[in-house]
Amino acid sequence: MESFFLKLSIMLVPGLMAITCHEVSHGYVADRLGDSTARYLGRLTLNPLKHLDIIGTLMVFVIGIGWAKPVPVNFNNLRNPKRDMIWVAAAGPITNFTLAFLSALGLRGGVALAGAMTAGSPMDTVLYPVLLMLAFSVYINLLLAIFNLIPVPPLDGGRVAVGLLPSGPALTLARFEPYGMILIVVLVFFTNIFSLVLQPALSVGIDLLAGPKTEWVFELLLSKVIGR
């Protein structure tokens, strides 16, 4: 029970922010490019309750990655559907990369502050949980961005690929979308895609953004919070 509340306190806010901002960015870019579906349905809001998917939120605590309810986009309403689809789809990963970058800056600053403090300072009780939250924000945003770049529709990478490919291959890939989630579930739960592909890419991203001085925070995060 103590472990659950530790996970809840560290992972909930950055996890909800990551998946909420990801979805809102899709709707916002679609709205700017001609499709106001998300705005009419009240989904252009950072209120996580408007985007919450119970199973997707629970998965953040179970496997370290989750999802929100997809923001509805009618690609036929876009001014240039094939081209604009690329920007709408790419908005989610770009937003997560941006949040990861900003969180890494905060983490670097927090680690520098922790190093300058006297050991046993009362600030430890406030600073160290904040460092773990920032580290998890880097982790979850990078993971969401990298995972969504897999070129399988309905993931964002698949829709970007549909927009970039010539008409024939794009149509073939788009027809695969109804079965894409089945493949994604198989990849996540029945293959080593995380350890073979996602984890190495995630490690490189963390090293580049956060730097070596924050390694101890991620080691603590993985061992005490995420459980890897």
> Tens-digit pLDDT profile for the chain (228 aa)?
557 777 888 988 998 899 999 999 999 999 999 999 999 999 999 998 898 888 877 777 776 677 788 899 999 999 999 999 999 999 999 999 999 999 999 999 999 998 887 666 666 678 889 999 999 999 999 999 999 999 999 899 999 999 999 999 999 999 988 888 888 878 877 888 888 888 999 999 999 999 999 999 999 998 888 876
Measured CA to CA, the distance from residue 28 to residue 207 in angstroms comes to: 31
Q: Which of 23, 177, 215, 219 is catalytic?
A: 23
- 23 an active-site residue? yes
Q: What are the sequence ranges of the domains in the chain?
A: 2-149+191-226
Q: What is the dihedral of CA 95, 201, 197, 17, to 10 degrees?
A: -30
Q: How many alpha carbons fall within 13 Å on the CB side of residue 46?
A: 6
pTM: 0.92
Measured CA to CA, the distance from residue 42 to residue 11 in angstroms comes to: 26
